[in-house]
Amino acid sequence: MAPSSLRSHALSLLPSSSSSRIESNPIDETDGQMNAAYWKRRFLVLKEETNTSKKRKGESTPSIGQIGRGIRKIVFICGYIKDLVLEADKHAEFIEDVDGSMDDFDGLTEEQVQELKRDWERSHKALQELCCLLPNFHKKINEGSPEELFEYYSKLQIGANNARSDDLNRIRECLAEWLNHAQPTPSPLLVKERRDNRGLGHDVTGCFLCPAEFEWENLEVRAKLRAGEEGYDWLSSYHAQAFYSNHKADPQRLEDGFLKSALLVKVYKSIFTSPSSAADVADDCESEQENEPAAKAARLSQSRKKATKCNVASRLHMNDKVTPRSVAYAAVLLHYNLQTAERWFEIYGGFDYRALYNEIVDYFEDVPTPAAKERAQNLMDWWTIRVFPGAAVCRQSNTSASRKAMREQCAARV
């Protein structure tokens, strides 16, 4: 837009009296300076609006497959979307009519009934998350024909699975880089391009995979774990050392340090903020930044702002908050990349990754007591501070209550 047309447009925004005064009346030097400053401000504003409008027109609409790339990250790790919707419907039906769902429980033990109901509830929560990620999803599944839904689900599914594969491969390379530069140095070094020299057979990855219930440093125990001897079943435990602070767990206090691993935080940041942001994670991140001054957290956030302003977390509208399902996703990708799998399998080598994911999700969403709920929330806050330190600073600096108190006291004084 030319300066002359910008000026005309800006003139139209002024009251008619002001416009006529400027066009017809003589002005003194002070008024002229003020008007010049006004036109300059208006020109800059209109120029910015024009540039923004052109940028929006140039943006392409994402495909259904692209939209689906966030599903595995923040909704559910594996399975079919259509099955998720059906299970969520089961939960809704059970809430509305308990007696009407009794046929689903025929032949099941009480424990199996509770597990089935929890599966429905977990799927219901996942559907809520999916509707937040895809605002038109609920309308689509309610109004679409079977043929349309089949195509829609298929495209979303492809996008979701492709994104998970991309993340798995990227974390495979990152993990090799991190561990090969750690102490002690792995022998042999981990290969970036594949996972076949990892797993329980490698001393370093085996240590991370070792459950809290076993002492990896004991060579006899280590040999029995590798041999799969009776009583040394590492596949049935979801408390891998890789998930714990300093990568060391207490089998008598499994909750202490759980999901506070520096390696896990690195994986999370590599997925949701940027691979470069993972470099900020200290090896002892449980204590690091625990009482970090707000100014330091703000500087850290500002230093990464330019690099991460269009990161995955922002595209998924996570609003600078870590979520339980995103932590579970990162935990699965960490554990999986310590294994030897060539590609994604829901169950690999006897280890159930859907069950691991559900276990971590339930730690946050299916809490048994108010005290456990508080501990889970504290852990979520711990995560948010480490991944989005700038957001924590913003929440700490809300001064509205302070200003309100001052105004009320001023008004009350005689």
Residues 166-182 pLDDT 10s: 999 999 999 999 999 99
Lowest-confidence range among 38-52, 73-87, 181-195?
A: 38-52
* Cβ atoms within 10 Å, residue 282: 12
Q: What is the pTM of this model?
A: 0.79
Does 61 have pLDDT greater than 90?
A: no
**Higher model confidence: residue 68 or residue 41?**
68
- The Cβ of residue 342 has, within 10 Å, a number of other Cβ atoms equal to 9
The number of angstroms, rounded, from the C-alpha of 360 to the middle of its chain's C-alpha atoms is 14
pLDDT computed for residue 172 by the predictor: 97
Res 3: pLDDT: 47
Distance of CA 249 to the CA centre of its chain: 25
- CA gap 345, 75 in Å, rounded: 18
Q: What is the pLDDT of residue 260?
A: 97
Are 97 and 377 in contact by the 8 Å Cβ rule? The answer is no
The whole-number average pLDDT for the span 147-162 is 96
Q: How far is CA 273 from the centre of its chain?
A: 9
At 400, is the pLDDT very low, low, confident or very high (cuts 50, 70, 90)? low
C-alpha 89, offset from chain centre: 25
> Rounded to whole angstroms, how far apart are CA atoms 345 and 159?
17
Mean pLDDT of the chain: 84
pLDDT at residue 402, rounded to an integer: 67
pLDDT tens-digit profile of 97-122?
887 777 889 899 999 999 999 999 99
For residue range 287-304, list pLDDT tens digits in order. Answer: 544 444 444 444 444 444
Angle between helices 3-13 and 29-58 (to 10 degrees): 110
